[in-house]
Amino acid sequence: MPRRRWRHCWRRVPLHALPELTPGQRRLSLFAVMVVLFLSALDQTIVATAMPRIIADLQGLERYAWVGTAYLLTGTVTVPIYGKLGDLYGRRPIIVLGVLIFLAGSMLCGLAGEFGPLPVIGDGMNQLILFRAIQGIGAGALATGAFATVADLFPPAERGKYAGLFGALFGLASVAGPLLGGWLTDNATVVLFGHVVAGWRWVFYVNLPLGVVALFVLMTKLPNRPGNDPGRIDWAGAGMLLATFVPLLLALSIGGHVRPWGSPEVVGLFLAALLGLGLLLWVEQRADNPVVPLALFGDPVFTRANLALFLMAMAFMGIAMFFPLYAQLVWGLSATAAGSALLPLMGGLLFSSIVCGRLASRTRQYKPLLVGGGVVLLIGIFFLAQIGPETGKWDSIWRMVLVGLGLGPGQGLYNLAVQNSVLRERIGVATASGQFFRQIGSTIGVAVFGALLVNGLARELPLRAPLLGGVPDLGQAQALAMHPERLDAATRVGVIGAFDVAVTHLFWVALGLAAVAFVVTLTIPARTLRGRDD
């Protein structure tokens, strides 16, 4: 269809004129994509409580953030491609492909370091980072395909309750993930054929049976509705995305620790990212079917909702990724107990996501719920940032509940606002764009918070634990914090205090990001959600 006629497509092809699925087909389709979304969400949280033990086995605290960054980076840059492929060929084959790649990456992650250093790749930590990148390539198709499928099945006014349901599913996975990850890390170590398989490896292996179930449901229950976009994939734009964000994330990860911020390597990476961004904009302006349609940024709902989602994702990663680390190293909890410490946050998230989703469907309004959630989130993070080594169990629970209640509305309603603002023919691309901004926010958040953590420890450890003789090995400091019985009393207090200050500083940064996201949310236009006949 000529580009000049594109913006009028919604009126000529209303949703109610499209081929309808029976109620039974809709329910089965919804169940299928929920299984896929659960698989994707579970893997984002199950690894967090296992990371301290993984680092202790594989070494390399300075590469802590890259285990998450590699997964999020590849998952992020593939999201727009998967969204476009779904518009072209239908959702089911793309989701199935993503599941297969995801499972292959999971198997390889479980094997990281088992055979010692590998040629070219290097030690076990490098292997894990590479295999997490492969896992992320598959994961990019999962959430995007799930949300776009729901957009195919239901009009915006009906999507609110499903957006809330998906947010609740994410909350369920977020609750189950840390608990399962911690339990496996602490209790699942086994000896097979004389070889010890560490418990944390089952954090990745557990994806395999879940993946088999997901594949079965997808292949037998999810109808493959044909694509409605006659365009082609913008491979040049996809390449420019990679050329922009890989050097950016590398610069954020090594700046201030591996290399000074003003070093030629870091400055060169930032310049390469800036050049990549310029080329990306140039390519997308000329592409017939851009992977990131710049025309969509003319819509204030699309632009501001995605910006708020980007900032919220950064803030969330600063809490979800590093709170389990704090619980284990400062409070001395086991991996299982550290996972349990996230339960109040995830319970609050699950509750508010469901309630706000239903309210959005009933009132056909999303903005009041997003604004209310933002207020609660700011209060929750403010109190969370004031925890310390002496904070008691119940004192931490109510803080985490507030954070979860504030996060819940944004899990589905920002995406709903974006979908409501675009034409049906661009649902896949718009949904992918929303997922892209969420994931790039998460990716940059992990890199930024990881760099802040490493820099904070490098500053605090020499001041608080001078008997360690500086900070020759941050991995050693982490191991000492996990085994304080090896230290004298003064050094033990100093090491724990260094981690306390370094991690709580991250929570204050998360509060600042959430505050900016709240201001952006206030500027999002309030539009009524469309119904089936609109």
Greater confidence (450 vs 129) lies with 129
Tell me the three state secondary structure of residue 351: helix
Of the ranges 90-99, 140-149, 434-443, the best mean pLDDT one:
90-99
Burial of 106 (0-12, 13-18, 19+ CB in 10 A): buried
Tell me the three state secondary structure of residue 388: coil
Q: What is the mean pLDDT of residues 235-256?
A: 77
Task: With residue 191 as reference, give the H or E element that holds it.
Answer: strand 190-192
Greater confidence (470 vs 238) lies with 238
The pLDDT of residue 514 is above 90:
yes
How much is the pLDDT for 9?
35
Torsion over CA: 350, 352, 357, 362 (sign): positive
Both tokens of residue 367?
A: 């903005």
The pLDDT of residue 1 is above 50:
no
**Length of the chain as a residue count:** 534
The pLDDT of residue 507 is above 90:
yes
Residue partners of 196: CB distance under 8 A and separation at least 6: 189, 190
The pLDDT of residue 408 is above 90:
no
Model pLDDT for residues 176-185, shown as the tens digit of each residue: 777 788 888 8
Question: Could you give the CA distance from residue 352 to residue 375 in angstroms, rounded to a whole number?
Answer: 13
* Amino acid of residue 252: L
The pLDDT of residue 10 is above 50:
no
Do the beta carbons of residue 405 and residue 349 sit within 8 Å?
yes
Burial of 381 (0-12, 13-18, 19+ CB in 10 A): buried
Q: What's the DSSP call for residue 524?
A: S
The pLDDT of residue 390 is above 80:
yes
- Give me the numbers of helices (H) and strands (E) for the chain, helices first please: 21, 2
- Taking CA atoms, 325 is separated from 14, 48, 380, 424, 514, in Å, by 50, 8, 19, 43, 21
The pLDDT of residue 308 is above 90:
yes
Share of the chain above pLDDT 70, in %: 80
Q: What is the mean pLDDT of residues 152-156?
A: 69
Residue partners of 532: CB distance under 8 A and separation at least 6: 15, 16, 155, 157, 158
**With DSSP H G I counted as helix, E B as strand and the rest as coil, what are the percentages for the chain, rounded to 5?**
80, 0, 20
Residue with token string 């409501």:
420
Greater confidence (457 vs 277) lies with 277
Question: Could you give the CA distance from residue 91 to residue 86 in angstroms, rounded to a whole number?
Answer: 5
φ, ψ dihedrals at 191, nearest 5°: -110, 115
Q: What is the mean pLDDT of residues 498-508?
A: 90
The pLDDT of residue 404 is above 60:
yes
Greater confidence (338 vs 96) lies with 96
Model pLDDT for residues 460-493, shown as the tens digit of each residue: 887 877 766 655 455 566 666 666 666 677 777 8
Share of the chain above pLDDT 90, in %: 16
Among residues 288, 303, 273, the alpha carbon closest in space to that of 84 is found at: 288
Q: What's the DSSP call for residue 154?
A: S
Banded pLDDT at 231 (limits 50, 70, 90): low
Q: What is the mean pLDDT of residues 84-105?
A: 84
Model pLDDT for residues 13-70, shown as the tens digit of each residue: 343 434 466 677 677 777 777 877 787 777 776 787 788 788 878 876 667 667 877 8
Banded pLDDT at 147 (limits 50, 70, 90): confident
Of 153-162, 277-286, 300-309, minimum mean pLDDT range = 153-162
Model pLDDT for residues 249-275, shown as the tens digit of each residue: 777 766 665 677 788 888 999 999 999
Tell me the three state secondary structure of residue 88: helix
The pLDDT of residue 3 is above 70:
no
Q: What is the mean pLDDT of residues 2-11?
A: 37
Among residues 58, 100, 21, the alpha carbon closest in space to that of 475 is found at: 58
How much is the pLDDT for 380?
94
How much is the pLDDT for 32?
73
Of 256-270, 295-309, 478-492, 510-524, minimum mean pLDDT range = 478-492
How much is the pLDDT for 14?
40
Do the beta carbons of residue 168 and residue 354 sit within 8 Å?
yes
How much is the pLDDT for 225?
62
Among residues 106, 97, 110, 131, the alpha carbon closest in space to that of 215 is found at: 97
Question: Could you give the CA distance from residue 268 to residue 102 in angstroms, rounded to a whole number?
Answer: 33
Tell me the three state secondary structure of residue 255: strand
Of 157-166, 198-207, 244-253, minimum mean pLDDT range = 157-166
Question: Could you give the CA distance from residue 85 to residue 227 in angstroms, rounded to a whole number?
Answer: 9
Tell me the three state secondary structure of residue 226: coil
List, as one string, the DSSP characters of 497-514.
HHHHHHHHHHHHHHHHHH
Our CA angle for 373, 377, 380, nearest 5°, is: 140
The pLDDT of residue 120 is above 60:
yes
How much is the pLDDT for 418?
83
Of 406-415, 432-441, 503-512, minimum mean pLDDT range = 432-441
How much is the pLDDT for 131?
92
Q: What is the mean pLDDT of residues 368-386?
A: 93
The pLDDT of residue 515 is above 90:
yes
Q: What is the mean pLDDT of residues 148-154?
A: 72
Task: With residue 197 as reference, give the H or E element that holds it.
Answer: strand 195-197
Torsion over CA: 184, 185, 188, 193 (sign): positive
Report the predicted TM-score, pTM, of the whole model to 2 decimal places: 0.71
Q: What is the mean pLDDT of residues 222-233?
A: 62
Q: What is the mean pLDDT of residues 333-347?
A: 77
Residue with token string 């600042």:
512
Burial 276-300 (b: 16+ CB within 10 A, else e): bbebbeebbeebebbbbbeebeeee
Average pLDDT of the chain is 79
Helix locations, 21-63, DSSP H: 23-45, 51-58
Query: What value does the CA radius of gyration of the chain take, rounded to a whole number of Å?
Result: 23
Tell me the three state secondary structure of residue 195: strand
Question: Could you give the CA distance from residue 54 to residue 182 in angstroms, rounded to a whole number?
Answer: 12
Question: Could you give the CA distance from residue 47 to residue 30 in angstroms, rounded to a whole number?
Answer: 27
The pLDDT of residue 205 is above 80:
yes
How much is the pLDDT for 6?
34
Residue with token string 């709170």:
323
Burial of 470 (0-12, 13-18, 19+ CB in 10 A): exposed
